[in-house]
Structure 1
């Protein structure tokens, strides 16, 4: 028997960056996001024998270790190993067993779609199913956050874990002491359908390491950098406006909020935008897009573009001629889920 789990990737629509400490702890953050039909998968397979196998299918990496309570975090497949370590420590009484742990992501590393956090959530969900752990969505998301930020030491925010765990359109509030409130929104299906018809994901061809950008953003807040903090205040306000636009089906307000949010996001830290991003953005606007932003921390990865359906073909042709990969997406309602496969 094997246990499989999946968790959806997400698009940050507004407020991204205000879920990062210390801004969250000092001012409180707010984010509006939605999950899409791209997933991170995790598989847990109990084995007969005396080794633990850890592998990433999409990265084509594989390591094996003797059965031990703690696997080394040495830069090789640390996400899967850190989840194993935490589950064993918190729920396994320090005891482990032979097992194969594998992951697969439908988005490349550095995509800006929250793929790393979705992998962690999928892994936690798989172990929860296997061991029958009493973990709900909030528990899974918080545990995934702790594993990423504390156990592995990766810089980042909180929205990705909660988006992957809950799924759907969510307005999220973040406060001090890791207090999070997820407000699922009931968006009319016709609004979701029209938004999907206008949305394109454009991979710029440049993966990025978000940790550096996020660390600079956090340093700016600690240093009291007025420009960065005011930009984050504006981003938090934009999450509320985006929530209103979605509930009302006001696409004019939605586009305006996306455009303004991108301008504010660029002011949070250097490196969020660069020459390649600006080149792609300008070409997209000239080809018919009317709003766009980089997904995630910035610096590369995917851009979210809004354009009339009638302009889609010409926009795709323009961006693909620049070496970008362009694709549509659909929005999903289901968060992390797990199931058992009987061979």
Structure 2
């Protein structure tokens, strides 16, 4: 028997960063995101030997341990170990060996929520194997707890919920880890037009999001008025984006993205840099009406809204910067698991 799961990565469209404590605890956060047809996968295969094999196939990393109630968290495949350790402590994993293999369709640090989505997928595979009674909110919060509390990794809350629920969602974040996921019923023609006009570009550079996020958190703690006001504006941006999508005012999407890009740069240093600014300006000159850096910033993926028939000219312009145009479709479903 093999237990499998997959969870979709996401594109953040508005409100990015307002899901990070302490901002959302103090003021409440709001984000609008959409899952896409890029995934994190997890497979668990029971073995006849009392060994645990951890394999990140996309990174070509393999570790092997004797069966144990806790695996050492030491910087090597810690996401895999963190999920195992937490589930072992809370539910108990049968004393049999197994191989846990993972794969992600986008590089780590690329800004599509890869790490959190991978954690969700691994939880999904264990839940399938152990028949754990976990609902969507349970799994998303469990993933958040493992990353932020057990492994002490800096970050927000949106990725775990996007990966678990799937679709286009307007999410609200409050103190005491309270999250409300509001699925948006967007007309299919609006979603098709958004998909056609939104170009996903990988800059061929990744970044350490934790450094940027820690500075953002510090700015809130030290009551940096400029940074906090920028986050207030980004929260308002998520409301603007929600209204534009629901009412089909797609001609406003680029301007709303551009507004958010201007605000996000004020949250912390290193969110943008000369290379990103050069790409952004070139895309706008080619016809894009706006765009953003995906995730915490500093590198990874960027998205651009290309109204009318400007898509192909923008893509042609982006090619001069190297990198890669990533093809995708929006997805309706979140985490899925099965066994064979």
Alignment TM class, shorter chain as reference: over 0.9
1:187-206 to 2 correspondences below 5 Å: 187-206=186-205
Q: Which residue of 2 aligns with 1:284?
A: 283
* Separation in 1, partners of 2:179, 2:51: 38
Structure 1: give runs of 5+ residues left out of the alignment.
none
* Separation in 1, partners of 2:317, 2:326: 13
* Separation in 1, partners of 2:328, 2:310: 16
1:84-132 CA distance string (max 9 Å, x none): 000100111x764311111100001111000111100000011111100
CA contact (8 A) 1:4 1:338 kept: yes
1:276-314 CA distance string (max 9 Å, x none): 100111111122211110000000000011113622222
TM-score w.r.t. length of structure 1: 0.97
Deviation at residue 251 of structure 1 after TM alignment: 1.1
In the superposition, relative to structure 1, how do residues 50 and 268 fare at CA in structure 2: closer, same or farther (>3 Å)? same
CA contact (8 A) 1:88 1:96 kept: no
Q: Which residue of 1 aligns with 2:297?
A: 298
Give the total of aligned pairs. Answer: 340
Deviation at residue 38 of structure 1 after TM alignment: 0.5
CA contact (8 A) 1:204 1:276 kept: no
Q: Which residue of 2 aligns with 1:317?
A: 316
1:147-205 CA distance string (max 9 Å, x none): 11111111000000000000000000000000110000111100000000001111112
Q: Which residue of 2 aligns with 1:132?
A: 131
Q: Which residue of 2 aligns with 1:75?
A: 75
* Separation in 2, partners of 1:328, 1:266: 27
Q: Which residue of 2 aligns with 1:38?
A: 38
Structure 2: give runs of 5+ residues left out of the alignment.
none
CA contact (8 A) 2:24 2:175 kept: yes
1:54-79 CA distance string (max 9 Å, x none): 01000000000000000000111000
SS of aligned partner of 1:331: coil
* Separation in 2, partners of 1:296, 1:260: 16
* Separation in 2, partners of 1:143, 1:242: 29
* Separation in 1, partners of 2:161, 2:99: 26
TM-score w.r.t. length of structure 2: 0.98
* Separation in 1, partners of 2:326, 2:250: 21
1:297-332 CA distance string (max 9 Å, x none): 000000011113622222222211221211332111
